[in-house]
Amino acid sequence: MSRADRVACEDVVMFVNAAIASTAQREFRSDAAAQRLSLGFLHEYVLGNYRDLYAATLALDVNDRNAALVVTNLLRTAREASAAQRAVEGRLIAARLRSLPPQRVYGVLRELRRLRINNRRTRAIVRDWVAARPDPAFDAIKYRRSLSVAARHNHLPLPGEVGTVLFDWRRPKRYETPMLEAWRRAHYEQRALYELPYTVAEGLAAQHGIDRARFLTGIAPRLTDRERLRLQGTAARHRVASIAMDLATAPLTRLAIYALSLSRPERTRRRDELTVALQAAARRAARRQAGTWGRVVAVLDDSYSAAGSGVKRRRPLAVALATHYLLEALAADYTGLWLHHRGDPLLVHPIGATGLGTRIVDGLEHRPDRLVIISDGWDNAPPGQAAEVLRVWRTRLDPHQVTSVVHLNPVYDADTFDVRRLAAGVATVGVRDAEDVAALVELARFATGSAGFDELRHHLADRVERFLDAPQAAP
């Protein structure tokens, strides 16, 4: 592989790592401004030098914030693309918009208006996305301001009463659409609040001055599973029992975040319930790969920096906990080694320094087929020990690479424009949700230079094809 190809491969993998791990929010060691500046530069650099591959990242597991930024940048610079590039980008953009949460898409539409991007292609993409929304009435009241901005800017035709709600909602004395009528009445009649979805009713309840406990009790039947999970702590504080949910249906990483939000005595009391739920979520995430990974050892970072930041509380620790359960499901024989914690993983908490080297030695003594390290990469007890252990292992003890080593890092390092790496020759990839680990391990071979730039192109082309052919991406 030529030097130019190696640099290109490293650049693209670096960007993918950042786009998976970083949400431009404050991290343990860097503030939000540094994160935004670093991530913004990286987007511009890859867009300018590898436009085709930049667009292809929409088919990968990049997080929603970065996917929205990729869409905005591609539409903003459409004049710089060839006709063939615009055709592929248009399909990728349309498919990714359909998979994004609506609030993210409306954020993109507001940004396009601010940038005064209003060409025919953009209007067609926006028109098709709005037309495909499953419940226009819900969007009209939940995202009323954003939808009205998009409608004006893109000259959108709006069905039936939706346009009236956006621009002159007080005029009709009654709406034929039940949700719109309930929303109209809820401005004057408190009982109508409980006919609305929670996210719509919450603001109106505040306007009416309704007691929080009373509101939660009344709206409980309208809550989705995700809302129930998010409101568990609030319900407990207000002693509202009707919001309790079956945790067995919750996604793995969100469930790990919820478990860590509980006090350690509460986790102990609910150990059986939480463990069963986490194991079930892990099996759902593993799908057909369950039990196929052979002998796996994980080194899991529970040092103090795993506490995250005020806006991402315990997120790195939650990713490690969720990955622990996922690897347990993927492996035929699994051993999880925390840096400090011993015993039930549900009781893990962030404490102490990041002494990865010793635990990596402990893990390698098991002679696993795979060694997976989940850490922010700040090996500091002593500094550099993990890199030296891995170097000796690779060069002296396992030169034929019988054991594959992968480092999964949930924290973006703004100073290096990448997730922090442990050692040269060890694949390091960014991770945000444990559910993506199996796909990320597939990507890891490109992070070490062992796979060429042509292979990376083929890999991305294959992911793009699968993404566009998937049912949710169908036009």
Angle between helices 64-76 and 3-21 (to 10 degrees): 120
For residue 344, the model assigns a pLDDT of: 95
Residue ranges, CATH 3.40.50, the chain: 253-451
> Rounded CA gap, 104 and 97, in Å?
9
For residue 336, the model assigns a pLDDT of: 97
Stretch (H or E) spanning 48? helix 32-49
Residues contacting 188, CB < 8 A, separation 6+: none
For residue 473, the model assigns a pLDDT of: 44
Tell the residue number behind the tokens 């702590």, with chain if given: 233
**Residue 92 CA from chain centroid, whole number:** 18
Amino acid at 58: L
DSSP class per residue in 232-273: HHHHHHTT-GGG---GGGS-HHHHHHHHHHS-HHHHHHTHHH
For residue 474, the model assigns a pLDDT of: 38
CB 259 within 8 A of CB 253: no
What CATH number does domain 253-451 carry, 3.30.70, 3.40.50, 3.40.1350, 3.30.110? Answer: 3.40.50
For residue 1, the model assigns a pLDDT of: 65
> Rounded CA gap, 411 and 23, in Å?
10
CB 63 within 8 A of CB 99: no
CB 419 within 8 A of CB 429: yes
Of 219, 216, 210, 249, the residue nearest 234 (C-alpha): 216
> Rounded CA gap, 127 and 90, in Å?
13
Cβ atoms within 10 Å of 358's Cβ, excluding its own: 16
**Tens digits of pLDDT across the chain (475 residues):** 678 888 888 899 999 999 999 999 999 999 999 999 999 999 999 999 999 999 999 999 999 999 999 999 999 999 999 999 999 999 999 999 999 999 999 999 999 999 999 999 999 999 999 999 999 999 999 999 999 999 999 999 888 899 999 999 888 999 999 999 999 999 999 999 999 999 999 999 999 999 999 999 999 999 998 899 889 888 888 888 888 777 888 999 999 999 999 999 999 999 999 999 999 999 999 999 999 999 999 999 999 999 999 999 999 999 999 999 999 999 999 999 999 999 999 999 999 999 999 999 999 999 999 999 999 999 999 999 999 999 999 999 999 989 999 999 999 999 999 999 999 889 999 999 999 998 888 788 787 766 778 888 998 999 999 999 887 643 3
Q: What angle do CA 182, 187, 189 make, to 5 degrees?
A: 75
What pTM value is reported for the model? Answer: 0.92
Stretch (H or E) spanning 427? strand 427-430
